[in-house]
Amino acid sequence: MTIRLAIFDFDGTLADSFPFFMSVFNEIADQHGFRRVDAQQAERLRHYGPRDIMRHVGMPAWKLPLASRSFVERMRENAARIPLFDGVDGMLRHLAHSGVELAVVSSNSELNVRLVLGPELAALVRQYECGMSIFGKAARIRKVLKAAGVAAQQALYIGDQTTDAEAARKAGVAFGAVSWGYAPIEALRRAAPQREFAAPGDLLSLGRA
């Protein structure tokens, strides 16, 4: 099936924001009263799903929006420090110029996404659905499908966490797992992705179907 709509997660998929996330994690933990993590723990936690990470650090669900807001605010102040992964810029240009519609569904803010992408790449994205809980992406994916007028079978949600796979499944779209993000590909394979991408350049094939 030809992919007409590529829907991207942002952090860990387009933007290499994990180093920044870890640089502010303990500050946010102190602010909101959950446990700090050291570098060794952080590497181990990459193999956990978000719910397991929250349990490990003692973060109740009601604190997640507060902690997320704190991260988004810090990222906005430091957007110039957040790079895109190598090859993302060329990949987005190729897909857009090949007629694949681009969208972003991210728990980060639209402003942060636009700041990190920069004006040229941001203009290639036709739809932004941002600022929801990491557990609330399925409804936003369905909203993107409806606005684009694209059948679920012709869309792909591309992300780097098991929650992205869950959201894609709930929305009825295929999930493409990237190997360069927060979660190791071994963890994502347990979520049975329909596609795997080892590097951003592998996504160029979506625009050649």
Query: Tens digits of per-residue pLDDT, 98-150?
Result: 999 999 999 999 999 999 999 999 999 999 999 988 889 999 999 999 999 99
Residue 4 DSSP SS3? coil
Which residue(s) pair with 101 in the sheet? Answer: 5
Q: Same domain, yes or no, for 137 and 107?
A: yes
Neighbours of 40 (CB within 10 A): 8
Q: Are residues 184 and 92 in the same domain?
A: yes
Over the Cα atoms of the chain, what is R_g?
16
Residue 61 DSSP SS3? helix
- Do 91 and 64 reside in the same domain of the chain? no
Q: Is 117 exposed, middle or buried (0-12, 13-18, 19+ CB in 10 A)?
A: buried
CATH number of the domain enclosing 93: 3.40.50.1000
Residues 101 and 150 in one domain: yes
- Amino acid (one-letter) located at 162: T
The 8-class DSSP code of residue 190 comes to T
Q: Of 60, 81, 102, which marks where a domain is finished?
A: 81
For the chain, give the mean pLDDT. Answer: 92
Asked which of 81, 101, 128 is the last residue of a domain, the reply is 81
- Model confidence pLDDT, tens digit, residues 30-42: 988 888 888 888 8
> Does one domain contain both 11 and 35?
no
CB atoms under 10 Å from CB of 28, counted, come to 20
Cα(84)–Cα(34) distance, rounded to whole angstroms? Answer: 29
How many other CB atoms sit within 10 Å of the CB of residue 181?
25
Q: CA distances (Å), 174 to each of 1, 5, 64, 116, 162, in order?
A: 11, 11, 27, 26, 13
105 with 115, same domain?
yes
Check whether residue 67 and residue 145 sit in a common domain: no
Do 110 and 200 reside in the same domain of the chain?
A: yes
Answer yes or no: do 34 and 125 share one domain: no
Q: Which residue, chain included where needed, has tokens 């992705």?
A: 193
Of 39, 58, 81, the residue that ends a domain is 81
The model carries a pTM of: 0.91
One-letter amino acid identity for 89?
D
Answer with the residue of higher pLDDT: 171 or 34: 171
Reported as a single tens digit per residue, the pLDDT across 63-93 is: 888 888 888 899 999 998 899 999 999 999 9
Find the DSSP H helices in the chain: 18-32, 39-45, 50-57, 64-77, 88-97, 110-117, 119-122, 137-148, 162-171, 185-189
- Clarify whether residues 158 and 68 are in a common domain: no
Q: What's the rounded Cα separation, in Å, for the pair 41 and 38?
A: 5
Q: What is the pLDDT of residue 1?
A: 61
Q: Are residues 70 and 92 in the same domain?
A: no
Specify the number of domains making up the chain: 2
* Residue 76, domain extent: 18-81
Q: Are residues 98 and 60 in the same domain?
A: no
Q: How far apart are CA 177 and CA 197, in angstroms?
A: 6
Question: What per-residue confidence (pLDDT) applies to 31?
Answer: 87
> What value, to the nearest 5°, has the Cα angle with vertex 84 and ends 52 and 24?
45
